[in-house]
């Protein structure tokens, strides 16, 4: 069953999706039709978080979004965080903390942390440890043991704050 041509708005640009099937997930369309392989495909059932993107500013698993139902929404992928090739704050923090090993979970985690920092109150306090753990609880990493990821979040929070003031 064809979904007909439709337009998805991804990272601020409209992308025509010419002849997709109706059952394709947003993750599939991003990777296979729009040439945006940053969002990773692992479990395809919402458990691992490696396909996380923002849809209208909310963190979701792109594998659980029907692509054709995303028409008229604003999709942000990992590629959209650093459009000019310069690393975004959360990316820099991950590099600095050494929070990346095999790297497969990294795009999804960075999208999760970016959403967390967007939603934090602007009072200059560090995000509470429990809040941080909860925010990344939908993203599995099998290499790092999470210690350095938590460190990266704290660095990213500082960078985001500096940027605001």
Ligand X SMILES: Cc1cc2nc3c(=O)[nH]c(=O)nc-3n(C[C@H](O)[C@H](O)[C@H](O)COP(=O)(O)OP(=O)(O)OC[C@H]3O[C@@H](n4cnc5c(N)ncnc54)[C@H](O)[C@@H]3O)c2cc1C
* Residues in contact with ligand X by the rule CB under 6 A: 45-47
Looking at residues 76 to 105 of the shown chain, list those that interact with other proteins (rule: CB under 8 A): none
Q: Is 141 in the site for other proteins (CB under 8 A)?
A: no
Minimum distance, C-beta of residue 165 to other proteins, in the bound complex (Å): 27
CB 30 within 8 A of CB 47: no
Structure tokens at 134: 């909860």
Among the residue ranges 40-48, 84-92, 120-128, 154-162, the one whose residues contact other proteins (CB under 8 A): 40-48
Q: Going by C-beta distance under 8 Å and a sequence separation of 6 or more, which residues neighbour residue 161?
A: 124
Q: Is 3 in the site for other proteins (CB under 8 A)?
A: yes
Q: Which is nearer to other proteins, 33 or 96 (CB)?
A: 33
CA angle 75, 135, 26 (to 5 degrees): 25
Q: Is 63 in the site for other proteins (CB under 8 A)?
A: yes
Q: Which residue lies nearest ligand X, judged by its C-beta?
A: 46
How many angstroms separate the CA atoms of 151 and 36, rounded? 28
For the chain, the distance separating the N- and C-terminal CA atoms, rounded to the nearest angstrom, is: 51
Q: Is 7 in the site for other proteins (CB under 8 A)?
A: no
Q: Is 47 left (phi over 0), alpha (psi -120 to 50) or beta?
A: alpha
List residues bridging with 17 in a β-sheet: 6
Q: Which stretches of the chain bind other proteins, using CB under 8 A?
A: 1, 3, 22-23, 25, 44-47, 49, 52, 58-61, 63-66, 68-69, 71-72, 112, 115, 134-135, 137-139
């Amino acid at each position: 069953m064809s979904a007909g041509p439709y337009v998805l708005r991804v990272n601020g640009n409209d992308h025509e999706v010419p002849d997709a099937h109706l059952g394709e997930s947003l993750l599939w369309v991003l990777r296979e039709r729009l040439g945006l392989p940053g969002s990773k495909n692992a479990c395809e059932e919402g458990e691992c978080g490696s396909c996380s993107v923002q849809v209208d500013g909310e963190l979701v698993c792109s594998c659980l979004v029907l692509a054709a139902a995303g028409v008229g929404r604003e999709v942000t992928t990992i590629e959209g965080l650093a459009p000019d090739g310069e690393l975004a704050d959360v990316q820099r923090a991950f590099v600095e903390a050494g929070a990346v090993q095999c790297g497969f979970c990294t795009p999804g985690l960075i999208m999760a942390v970016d959403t967390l920092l967007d939603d934090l109150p602007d009072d200059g306090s560090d995000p509470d440890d429990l809040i941080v753990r909860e925010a990344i609880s939908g993203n599995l990493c099998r290499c790092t043991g999470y210690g350095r990821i938590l460190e990266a979040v704290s660095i990213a929070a500082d960078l985001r704050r500096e940027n605001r003031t």
